[in-house]
Amino acid sequence: MAFFITGTSLVWQPSIPAALIVLAITQMGVHIVFFLHITTRPDSINNVMAPVFCVFIVFVLIVGSLWIMTNLNHNMTPMQRPMQLQR
């Protein structure tokens, strides 16, 4: 479906990223329920906690990376004049 959406002119071009995000979330849900067998039953609490912990770790990595890149960009000294290549 994702290849069809990106390769056709039937879909409004600015809506393609939103459609791909919806398809990705749907695919993750299908994998979680049908392949990983993670449900909300009381006996499968450990199966639910593992993906929650993984999402937390990914969130910390993304936020930390963005914070570090923003901090480094803010604290860099500006260049006085552009560097010239020697020929």
- 3-class SS at 82? coil
Is the domain of 51 the same as that of 30? no
Is the domain of 68 the same as that of 51? yes
Confidence at residue 27, expressed as pLDDT on a 0 to 100 scale? 92
**Could you tell me if residue 80 is inside a domain?**
no
pTM exceeds 0.75: no
35: DSSP letter: I
Looking at the 3D structure of the chain, how many domains does it have? 2
Is the domain of 3 the same as that of 25? yes
Range(s) of the domain holding residue 27? 1-36
DSSP notation for 19-55: HHHHHHHHHHHHIIIIIS-----GGGHHHHHHHHHHH
**Could you tell me if residue 85 is inside a domain?**
no
**Could you tell me if residue 81 is inside a domain?**
no
pLDDT, averaged per 10 consecutive residues of the chain (87 residues), comes to 87 89 91 80 73 88 94 79 69
Is the domain of 24 the same as that of 52? no
Confidence at residue 75, expressed as pLDDT on a 0 to 100 scale? 84
**Could you tell me if residue 79 is inside a domain?**
no
